[in-house]
Amino acid sequence: MKFTYRTLAVAVAAALVVPTQATFAQDENLTEEVVVIGTRTEGRSALDSPAPVDVIGGETMSNQGDTDMSNLLRNVVPSYNVNDQPISDAATLVRPANLRGLAPDHTLMLVNGKRRHRASVITWLGNGISNGSQGPDAAAIPALALKRIEVLRDGASAQYGSDAIAGVMNFVLNDAREGGSVEVRYGEYKEGDGEQVTIAGNIGLPLGDSGFLNLTAEWGESDPTSRSEQRADAQGLIDDGYQGVPVPAMIWGRPIVNDDMKLWANFGFDLSDTLELYGHANYNSKEVDGGFFFRNPTNRGAVYSGDGGETLLIGDLTPDGSGNCPVVAMDGNIPDAAAFAQVQADPNCFSFQETITGGFTPRFGGDVSDMSF
């Protein structure tokens, strides 16, 4: 009986050892998917996390037909939305992104686990939910600079603060100490519409025995797109004989982006067995130029006087308002010829009809720069 008992004990012990070894092997296979967002427990995988966490690897990003980080995230992350912003004020310069339908500054952006600064743009005309918000600009990060992206699609204010109401995005930079890659992309929607070119490269360099320096550079340009139709009021001006009315009067499409340069560096090396020096830096600059709303010289708001649009608004340029400018009646888009001739002859009277007969379409753009260390 004793012999039998001992044999049974050895068999049970062996049976317990086998699954334990299998568990260790499974844990080793999951080390590449360990996440650090949405949990206070170290070494937790995306599958073990109680919150919805997406881990997007470099191969997934390289398989997308775009290099703009905002567009890449839109393609692979559920509930992440960003649009090209035609005629949208400063949203043309820095596009607002919405996670789970919330404002851009409700999503916390981390780079290597550190808070990323916000862009210096307060969004206006940014799809309503973005108005008045100031969020970070994911488009400043080139895809080749990343090892992976971790996206927490759930509120995490208790852990991170009020800027994590919508969720958290952690951009883990490439830390390879050897090798590299070069990428060239070109495309357009159709001939002469939205031509786009991007050239990017990444290289990993060793620092000492175990350190690394990883460098990424990307340059790109994109031409505008146009999905415009002629405005009815602008066509009315043309039909009434006005000269110089642009066709189309207002461009609806993607803006022009010139000299979009992105430079990123990530480094780290061990000073001792318990001390590590690490950091990252970036520089980004680009020129953006987009269209804006057409200004009609006859019926634009604040051009008419307050009588229901029956007369043309005339400016009295005298200091005391004593110019006694004539009242100019309007018949559709046509001002009364005799009264308007008096306005043109009087230097103290002014009308937009004198300077922008065919209307005016301003351009909205600026130089964007982004840097950090």
Residue 37 clears pLDDT 80, i.e. is over it: no
Query: Tell me, what's the pLDDT at 152?
Result: 93
Q: Which residue has the higher pLDDT, 236 or 124?
A: 236
- Please list the residues that pair with 45 across neighbouring strands: 34
On whether the CB atoms of residues 168 and 127 are closer than 8 A, the answer is no
For residues 93 and 97, give the distance between their C-alpha atoms in angstroms, rounded to a whole number: 13
Return the CATH fold of 36-295+364-372. Answer: Ferric Hydroxamate Uptake Protein; Chain A, domain 1 (2.170.130)
Quick: pLDDT tens for 315-362. 899 999 888 899 888 888 888 999 999 999 999 998 888 888 888 899
On whether the CB atoms of residues 261 and 219 are closer than 8 A, the answer is yes
Residue 16 clears pLDDT 50, i.e. is over it: no
Query: Tell me, what's the pLDDT at 15?
Result: 37
Q: Which of 215, 219, 180 is nearest to 199 (CA)?
A: 219
Q: Which residue has the higher pLDDT, 221 or 19?
A: 221
For residues 263 and 219, give the distance between their C-alpha atoms in angstroms, rounded to a whole number: 9
Instruction: For the chain, give every domain's residue range.
Output: 36-295+364-372
On whether the CB atoms of residues 276 and 269 are closer than 8 A, the answer is yes
pTM over 0.85: no
On whether the CB atoms of residues 219 and 260 are closer than 8 A, the answer is yes
Helix/strand/coil for 90: helix
For residues 288 and 255, give the distance between their C-alpha atoms in angstroms, rounded to a whole number: 7
Query: Tell me, what's the pLDDT at 190?
Result: 87
Query: Tell me, what's the pLDDT at 26?
Result: 44
